Amino acid sequence: MAFRGWRPPPPPLLLLLLWVTGQAAPVAGLGSDAELQIERRFVPDECPRTVRSGDFVRYHYVGTFPDGQKFDSSYDRDSTFNVFVGKGQLITGMDQALVGMCVNERRFVKIPPKLAYGNEGVSGVIPPNSVLHFDVLLMDIWNSEDQVQIHTYFKPPSCPRTIQVSDFVRYHYNGTFLDGTLFDSSHNRMKTYDTYVGIGWLIPGMDKGLLGMCVGEKRIITIPPFLAYGEDGDGKDIPGQASLVFDVALLDLHNPKDSISIENKVVPENCERISQSGDFLRYHYNGTLLDGTLFDSSYSRNRTFDTYIGQGYVIPGMDEGLLGVCIGEKRRIVVPPHLGYGEEGRGNIPGSAVLVFDIHVIDFHNPSDSISITSHYKPPDCSVLSKKGDYLKYHYNASLLDGTLLDSTWNLGKTYNIVLGSGQVVLGMDMGLREMCVGEKRTVIIPPHLGYGEAGVDGEVPGSAVLVFDIELPELVAGLPEGYMFIWNGEVSPNLFEEIDKDGNGEVLLEEFSEYIHAQVASGKGKLAPGFDAELIVKNMFTNQDRNGDGKVTAEEFKLKDQEAKHDEL
């Protein structure tokens, strides 16, 4: 845009002389005091408009006599001289001298008496028959027929929406006069100007000049004073009758009637389940403003955002935008401020800001979910099924719903071994391993409330994560009946105590007891519960028999399990 600032005046040899006499201009330096003489002391490089008769101008001047004595100056009044040109409001010589001037042009004008105040002069100020010298600097031009001028100097490649009447916008601007003088800037305040458009919240010229803009667009809006602050100015920084130039960058745009908008970026081919109100989601996101400014990112924290949806735990726009997603889906959710953080904003989110969330759904579940079991292979003979108490040796790959591998026994080259129903694994895994036969392969999906819960496992399993286990069972050792840690495989000797008490002293010590039990297991006559520490089982059995805790068992203390069901001995 033109009129953006001062340039230093050209060197004296380049000064141009122009005589306005109604005839062809004479050669420089040949004029007389009877003629109007104009010396163009500075002409800006760009001059898109010049003064014409009928225009309104604002200019500064210093008026002197030929001897250099000053008789008047607008600078002394700290106010431009404002007037229509060619309508008889000026002395004839000045009316003629202003025609053809550019904003920021400086002219030195010599006006003869016949084109000034003649032989009468101005009492006490201008003597009769005075030649007057004026040093003039033009600040502003406009015409009553002018309209708002718009010059777009940047427009983004994509412009899905433009400003309409009643839209709410956020924009930055520099406000200058036609001569380039800055009178206001939102950049200096480091805060956008936020307003409705077309409903009278702005000066009329700005209301019109903003219409049709795209987010990201930059334009210069030039407004004549009768569509700005008129004759009186704003009473502070903007003088009366000033044309205004606004360099505007649009950052944000919405309408109070807007709802969220959703753009699906990636939708998995297999989508067995979509999110519903009450589900718990784990997702990654980048949060930006409409102009692309990043205000938050879960990726920067290296942790998903975890929340219930449809229950008010997140802003209303996200509550709505996260419904109906698939695991692995990527979508863009655009949230207007009345469904976001409103007029106040939050943190580094400005008030009345439209928010753009690019999300990637990692997993979701519902608190009412149970485990899911999918069997991929069962051997022909699948009659012996795992049950509580059985000792299982199995392989697994553990991953998240998005396929991220967490752990694998195949990578370790050995099985994972547990006693089913003994609390050695999370509840969901315990449930998923039941009724499985040797050689079977299955996938078990475990919701977090049956897995590692909200806390997860530090550095291994994220909090609130749904887990996927691909399992193969190569070996199963049948356990003992519930409540037993040792059983006999045949008839129990009627002289059991005497057989254990080898020295016949009527007392059995732990060493004797342990030696006897291990001998029975080795011979196949007895069996210890698989998967537990055999020595610990034997010690517990001995302790249960040692009623008085004196470190030895007497015949009176010795009882079988069916004789006292409260204990897990013999």
Task: Give pLDDT, residue 17.
Answer: 27
Rounded to whole angstroms, how far apart are CA atoms 483 and 481? Answer: 6
What burial class does residue 350 get, using C-beta atoms within 10 Å of its C-beta: 0-12 exposed, 13-18 middle, 19+ buried? Answer: buried
Q: Are 136 and 98 in contact (CB under 8 A)?
A: yes
- pLDDT, tens digit, 9 for 90 and up, residues 265-324: 999 998 989 999 999 999 999 999 999 999 999 999 999 999 999 999 999 999 999 999
Q: Where are the alpha helices (DSSP H) in 179-226?
A: 186-189, 204-210
CA-CA distance, 86 to 92, in Å (whole number)? 8
- Considering the chain, tell me which residue range(s) the CATH 3.10.50.40 domain(s) occupy: 37-142, 149-254, 261-365, 372-477
Element holding 88 (H helix, E strand) = none
* Residue bearing tokens 């009758």: 241
Concatenating the DSSP letter of every residue in 393-435 gives: EEEEEEEETT--EEEEHHHHTS-EEEETTSSSS-HHHHHHTTT
Structure tokens at 297: 């990112």
Nearest to 366 by CA among 456, 450, 442: 450
The single residue listed with the structure tokens 């719903």 is: 401
The answer to whether 148 and 127 have CB atoms below 8 angstroms apart is: no
The answer as to CATH 3.20.20.140 being correct for domain 261-365 is no
DSSP structure class, residue 13: G
Residue with tokens 């004479």: 26
Q: Which residues fall within 8 angstroms of residue 198, CB to CB, at 6 or more apart?
A: 164, 165, 166, 167, 207, 211
The token pair at 38 is 């104009």
CATH of 372-477, one of 3.10.50.40, 3.40.50.970, 3.40.720.10, 3.30.420.40: 3.10.50.40
Q: How far apart are CA 141 and CA 145, in angstroms?
A: 12
Q: Determine the Cα–Cα distance for residues 251 and 230; give it in Å rounded to an integer.
A: 28
Q: Range(s) for CATH 1.10.238.10 in the chain?
A: 486-554
CA distance 249 to 174: 9
Cβ neighbours around 102 below 10 Å, total: 23
Q: Is 6 helix (H, G, I), strand (E, B) or coil?
A: coil
Rounded distance between C-alpha atoms, residue 542 and residue 129, angstroms: 137
Nearest CA to 224 out of 204, 250, 200, 242 is that of 242
Instruction: Write out the two tokens for 118.
Output: 């003649």
For residue 321, give every residue at least 6 positions away whose Cβ sits within 8 Å of its Cβ, in sequence order, or none. Answer: 260, 262, 331, 333, 335, 357, 359
Grouping H, G, I as helix, E, B as strand and the rest as coil, residue 115 is helix
The CATH superfamily of 486-554 is EF-hand (1.10.238.10)
**pLDDT per residue as tens digits for the range 30-65:** 244 579 999 999 999 999 999 999 999 999 999 999
User: Residue type for 382, please?
Assistant: C
DSSP E strand boundaries for 206-243: 218-223
Instruction: Write out the chain's pLDDT in tens, 570 residues.
Output: 222 233 333 332 222 223 333 322 322 332 445 799 999 999 999 999 999 999 999 999 999 999 999 999 999 999 999 999 999 999 999 999 999 999 999 999 999 999 999 999 999 999 999 999 999 999 999 999 999 999 999 999 999 999 999 999 999 999 999 999 999 999 999 999 999 999 999 999 999 999 999 999 999 999 999 999 999 999 999 999 999 999 999 999 999 999 999 999 999 998 989 999 999 999 999 999 999 999 999 999 999 999 999 999 999 999 999 999 999 999 999 999 999 999 999 999 999 999 999 999 999 999 999 999 999 999 999 999 999 999 999 999 999 998 899 999 999 999 999 999 999 999 999 999 999 999 999 999 999 999 999 999 999 999 999 999 999 999 999 999 888 889 888 888 888 888 888 888 988 899 989 989 998 899 888 899 898 889 999 999 999 898 999 999 898 888 876 665 444 445
Dihedrals phi, psi of 507, to nearest 5 degrees: -135, 135
With H, G, I as helix, E, B as strand and everything else as coil, classify residue 253: strand
**Architecture of the 149-254 domain:** Roll (3.10)
Looking up tokens 């803009």 gives: 213
Share of the chain above pLDDT 70, in %: 92
Number of other residues whose CB lies within 10 A of the CB of residue 333: 21
Calpha distance 247→3 (Å, rounded):
12
CATH of region 37-142: 3.10.50.40
| Closest to 42 in 3D by CA, of 111, 110, 102, 100 | 102
Which of 175-213 are b and which e, b meaning 16 or more Cβ less than 10 Å from the residue's Cβ? bbbbbbeebbebeeeeebbbbbbbeeebbebbbbbbeeb
